[in-house]
Structure 1
Amino acid sequence: MTPHLALDHLWTAAGCDTAALDTVSLTGEDPGLPSIYRVGTLASATIAATGLAAAECFRLRTGCRQRVEVDMRRALAAFRSERYLRVNGGPPPALRDPVMGFYATRDGRWIQLHTNFPHHLAGILKVLGCSNDRTAVAEAIRGWDGTALDQTLADAGLCAALIRSPREWAAHEQAQAIANLPLFEIMRIGDAPPESAGRGGVDRPLAGARVLDLSRIIAGPVAGRALAQHGAQVLMINGPHLPNIEPLVIDNGRGKRSATLDLRDAAGREQLRGLAADADVFLQAYRPGTLAARGFAPEALAQVRPGIVCVSISAYGHTGPWAQRRGFDSLVQSASGIAWTESRAAHSDEPKHLPCQALDHATGYLAAFGAMVALARRATEGGSWHVRVSLAQTGRWLQSMGQIEDGWRSPEVTSEDVQDCTETVDSPFGTIRGTLPAERLTETPAFYGRPPVPIGTDAAVWAEQE
């Protein structure tokens, strides 16, 4: 699979005009990072699809067609944006709790724990009955069989994944439940008159478009960030009680405003409903059904705001026995055979993840791509729309691309190696150096119009109403 073929697949699967593919230039080839998987192809294709969709939104608004260029090296830098982030010239940000990682079980299996949120760490330590120390955790896990611990932690609402081979995952009920689902879905869910992808000025593809971003960590925030870099007004909504990881708030908050609403309260839900009534895109990455239980199912939002584009991101898919299971990129890699395959290829004694959060970033760009395709459809045929993606489906697509023999021997890419792919801006957090948008549009360059701000900096209103 080449980047061009992967982009062709995305573009045609979305039902887009194939003539637009002639305006895209893709350069670079795998392996760009140490991996046997075609991570560079995944990065180039998903980012190019996002850029091309933005260009199409601009063409529909102005009649002007433009070229889109993506170099794999820059795309891979964007796929590692959180790793290359620097604040005030300091060291790389700490993104992982010390207990997070792989552990051997009593029956010779491996399990991965995900403990980056304090309540997840506390819950796992309670199940294991041990102290907050890697040695103590390792000793406790050696008293469990892998499958039993995996299920026990999942039943407790905690975050872990048994390391499975691709064959073992393919036989699993969850893999079978999503096996026939497409990589992404763009579904019409209601009627509405045609409406432009943006509002007011036409200097940028999504100028004036209003996006509500109800997501945290990487996949959802990357989607919101991608929409912001093409001119959308993105308002990030966090719950005041929900945990976050500050470096990710900084990295993925670029281009966005930030407010808090407590959806546990009727007043908070009513305020969000009011925001949605004036929104173009409602992006969320809660577990399937969570927001629907609060009154924010896509169909309900389409009643509140005919013409809205709803985007839903999940870990393991919206159907199957694991639909409600909490998940993160690294856990999906572990459960689906990616970590097993990487370790076997590299002759590693322990499981081995991809060299970046590729499923998160790719799914984020696919979500933004789907949102812009839906906005373009709204402009030509009207309607309300629902876009659905998941980390597991993205992972399956990556696995289908084939492998690169000895790709894991490719050299590491350091922050110094990608200096030309970054920019420095002042922000409330200090001086931020972060990766630039990887896609280059000849008429409407992608850029972040605002620096990142701390959670809750802004009022929960649209900018024009402040």
Structure 2
Amino acid sequence: MGFGGRLGTYARVVITPTAALRELWHDTTGTPLDRAGVVIDGDDPVLPSRYRVGVLAAAAVAATATAAARLLRARGGAPDPVRLSVREAAAAFHTERCLRVDGAPPRDLWAALSGNYRAADGWVRLHCNYPHHRDAVLAALAVADSRDAVAEAVSRRTAEDVEAAVLAAGGAAGALRRRADWLRHPQALAIGRLPLADLRRLGPAPARPLARADRPLAGVRVLDLTHVIAGPVCGRTLAAFGADVLHVGAAHLPTVGPLVIDTGFGKRSCHLDLRTERDRLVLRGLIAEADVFVQSYRPGALAALGFGPAQLAELRPGIVSVNLSAYGQAGPLAGRRGFDSLVQMVSGIADTGEAAPRQLPAQTLDHGTGWLAAFGAITALTRRASAGGSWEVRVSLARTALWLDSLGRTEDEGERAEGVEDFADLLVETDSAFGRLTHVRAPASGYWAHGPRLPGGDEPQWW
């Protein structure tokens, strides 16, 4: 039974971590999983949730580590079998909440206006972490910069009306939908037909076997044009398996400081202003020597600047283009901007049937999608090595939400809080430009060569 076939019968089906891994592996690679090469210990619940968050985390992390081991073996290495606990995988989905800088937690990840609001007929969540998204909310509702004023304005309108108004103003919002309504929605139907990590061949290119190495991705060059959590987690994961990852940001774009630190391990960081032809030319030069290009901007944004998947394949035949989106690249909501907390609302994950929505205990859709993107990238590199071709990998938060929904339920209602002390034995310390960092170690035998760098602190060039 595939992922989609369980959606209507979740109450009677409980998926084990190994079964979830086996289905994910076959769904992505088209081949059966060699179960002798991977062992997953434990089961849910780990994090407080009625959803099987730990199972999803374990399957995504184990699949990525197994793909990395397979690639290392193809490069002449002798990888150890993959062994992972569900708890270790869950900690890897909790990294931003466990991060400490010089012993203290960084500032709150959420801006004052971000959060759930009661509307006239339900609930809506507003995302105001970026100044331009906050301004869009204030403009759409015609209110002052006050949570009370926003709450009052939202209470007089329907949830979907608020959602539509904020989106039209250039902001980010998500109305709570019932699970059953979402499963009938054209968007859910469109993405439900797609694999979790959707790989497709972009065009011809010669096979490009990778040289012998002692790490799976040694010598692989990755351009990371991502922000927030999902895309940066993909780049951070590829760095943990040995890739040379160069994050490309811009001085004029807003960021969330703690997330920059948390997802920056193993990467270098440069700034380019892609509004200028000069810096677009620099990026083209980097692409000409890259193996993987990861992006998480709104669908179509980079293509408008000349850096869409087909354009990348022309600039660099043999490239692997990895594209992360909120709602997928098919269906009526394909172009909509969104974030993990919003997709939880829209997809019914936050629907409890009670008075207020309940968010997951981790940014599960973000982290899960980031790991799936890394799994897809490694799988595409493996295919490129033997069969050639340029490749595209497509993943989305909404498709990951459908996967989570299909894995069954726990009996944990998620009332307790889980903090850094719960994963103390999985934490390590690393020096960085930001200070002494206490953080979750890379799972599944991965490791980072260095801590996060200051944004824009490196030159836009390959080592």
TM-score (norm 2): 0.94
- Is the Cα–Cα contact under 8 Å of residues 196 and 372 in structure 2 kept in the other structure? no
Match of 2:62 in 1: 48
2:402 to 392, 396, 402: 396
- How many pairs align? 449
- Find the counterpart in structure 2 of residue 117 from structure 1: 130
Instruction: Sort the Cα spacing of 1:388 and 1:327 in 2 relative to 1 into closer, same or farther, 3 A.
Output: same
- 1:54-453 equivalences in 2 (<5 Å): 54-106=68-120, 108-197=121-210, 202-340=213-351, 343-344=352-353, 349-404=355-410, 406-409=411-414, 411-440=416-445, 446-453=446-453
1:142-199: CA deviation from partner (whole Å, max 9, x where unpaired): 12122211111112221011101011212323223323222221111111222134x5
The one-character-per-residue Cα deviations of 1:182-235 (angstroms, maximum 9, x if unpaired) are 2221111111222134x5x61211111100000001000000000000000000
Asked if structure 2 preserves the Cα contact closer than 8 Å seen for 1:71 and 1:438, the reply is no
Do the aligned partners of residues 186 and 462 (structure 1) sit closer, same or farther apart at CA in structure 2, a change above 3 Å counting? same
Q: CA deviation at 1:398?
A: 0.6
Secondary structure at 1:407's aligned position in 2?
coil
Classify 1:20/1:93 alpha carbon distance in 2 versus 1 (closer, same or farther; 3 Å): farther
Structure 1 residue ranges, 4+ long, deviating more than 4 angstroms after superposition: none
Distance 1:66 1:190 in 2: 34
Q: What's the secondary structure of 1:188's corresponding residue?
A: strand
> One-letter code of the match for 1:434?
H
SS at match of 1:18: coil
What code does the residue aligned with 1:318 have?
Q
Residue 372 of structure 1: CA displacement? 0.2
Q: State how far apart, in whole Å, the 1-side matches of 2:383 and 2:415 are.
A: 41
C-alpha distance in structure 1 between counterparts of 2:414 and 2:224, whole Å: 38
Give the aligned partner of residue 13 of structure 1.
Answer: 27
* Amino acid corresponding to residue 233 of structure 1 in structure 2: D
The answer to whether the 8 A contact 1:83-1:93 is kept is no
Alpha-carbon spacing, 1:399–1:145, altered in 2? closer, same or farther (3 Å): same
Whichever residue aligns with residue 416 of structure 1, its letter is E
Q: Once the 2 structures are TM-superposed, how far is the Cα of residue 63 of structure 1 from its aligned partner?
A: 5.0
The structure-2 alpha-carbon separation of the partners of 1:403 and 1:172, relative to structure 1 and needing over 3 Å to count, comes to: same
CA contact (8 A) 1:238 1:260 kept: yes
Whole-angstrom CA distance in 2 between matches of 1:155 and 1:131: 19
Moved more, 139-148 or 222-231: 139-148
Distance 1:150 1:111 in 2: 7
Equivalent position of 2:4 in the other structure: none
Are residue 23 (structure 1) and residue 28 (structure 2) matched? no
- State the alpha-carbon separation in 2 of the partners of residues 243 and 89 from structure 1: 26
Structure 1, unpaired ranges of 5+:
441-445
Matched with 1:443 is none
Q: Secondary structure at the match of 1:70?
A: strand
SS at match of 2:29: coil
Quote how far apart the aligned CAs of 1:240 are: 2.2
Listed one character per residue, the Cα deviations across residues 354-377 of structure 1 (whole Å, up to 9, x for unaligned) are 100000000000000000000111
* Farther off after superposition, 417-426 or 89-98: 89-98
Aligned Cα root-mean-square deviation (Å): 1.5
Contact 1:32 1:410 in 2 (8 A): no
Change (3 A) 1:287 1:146: same
Say whether the 8 Å CA contact 1:86–1:93 is kept in structure 2: no
Contact 2:322–2:377 (CA<8 Å) still a contact in 1?
yes
Q: Deviations over 1:47-78 (max 9, x none)?
A: 00110111011000015243001111111111
Distance in 2 between the 1:91 and 1:260 partners? 27
311-320 or 8-17: bigger deviation:
8-17
Which deviates more, 358-367 or 133-142? 133-142
Query: Under a length normalisation based on structure 1, what TM-score does the superposition of the two structures give?
Result: 0.93
Question: 1:336 and 1:99 mapped to 2: Cα distance?
Answer: 22
Q: Verify the 8 A CA contact 2:93 2:362 in the aligned structure 1.
A: yes
Query: Residue deviations 1:329-350, cap 9 Å, x none?
Result: 010000010101xx33xx5x31
- DSSP-derived class of the 1:193 partner: coil
State the 1:319 CA deviation: 1.8
Structure 2's unaligned 5+ residue stretches are 1-14
Distance 1:308 1:207, change over 3 A: same
SS in 1 for 2:454: coil
Post-superposition offset of 1:450:
1.4
**Distance (whole Å) between structure 2 residues aligned to residue 355 and residue 63 of structure 1:** 38
* Secondary structure in structure 2 of the residue aligned to 1:386: strand
* One-letter amino acid of the structure 1 residue matched with residue 57 of structure 2: A
Q: Per-residue CA shift, 1:297-350, capped at 9, x if unaligned?
A: 21121111111111000000112221111100010000010101xx33xx5x31
Match of 2:461 in 1: 461
Q: Do the aligned residues in 1 keep the contact of 2:139 with 2:169 (CA within 8 Å)?
A: no
